[in-house]
Amino acid sequence: MFPKIKLALAFVLLTVAFGSQLRVSAQESTKSDNKAKTLATGTFHGKVHQTSGRATIYQQADGKLVLRLTNFKTSNGPDVHVILVAAKDADDDANFLKSDTARTELGKLKGNEGDQNYEIPAGTDLAKFQTVSIYCERFNANFGAAPLEKF
């Protein structure tokens, strides 16, 4: 009887000491409510065409989704577009035409350097389109890709 109680006591003490079975949950909010909400973000990778920078998706107060590229740099090229692809990520040699990966066109790349915004068509499912690609349509070349993660 006594050994059992001792054992139980020891277990309780251990649990308290290590606290490993207890879950503490916090839910602090950001100090201010931004008008535009940051939904997802990720960084570009691309070696063949040296692409770098960050891609972030914002939701504006009116509900519209906007893709914003910051610290962005890629090589210039002909017929370069910004697209969302239904994939977790994309390699340098990804050819979205051949692989018939679902894509959403966001428009022509406005500049190969600098901060820029692109409207995302209403109804685009961000759970499906998880990667931003800088895509040269003329040569079906993926200049760079940014896999997005929840912000």
Does 105 interact with other proteins (rule: CB under 8 A)? no
CA angle 73, 71, 144 (to 5 degrees): 40
CB 90 within 8 A of CB 135: no
Closest CA to 107 of 146, 72, 66: 66
- For other proteins, give the closer residue by CB, 91 or 113: 113
- Name which of residues 29 to 58 contact other proteins (CB under 8 A): 29-32, 34-36, 38, 41, 43, 54, 56, 58
The nearest distance, CB 18 to other proteins, in angstroms, is 6
Q: Is 124 in the site for other proteins (CB under 8 A)?
A: no
Cβ neighbors of 146 (< 8 A, separation 6 or more) are 42, 43, 44, 45, 53, 54, 55, 131, 132, 133
Residue 72 burial (C-beta neighbours within 10 Å; 0-12, 13-18, 19+): buried
For other proteins (CB under 8 A), the number of binding residues is 47
- Single residue of 25, 63, 122, 123 touching other proteins by CB under 8 A: 25
Q: Is 78 in the site for other proteins (CB under 8 A)?
A: yes
54/104 with CB nearer other proteins: 54
User: What is the Cα–Cα distance from 148 to 108, expressed in whole angstroms?
Assistant: 20
Site residues (CB under 8 A) for other proteins? 17-32, 34-36, 38, 41, 43, 54, 56, 58, 60-61, 66, 68, 70-71, 75-78, 110-117, 138, 149-151
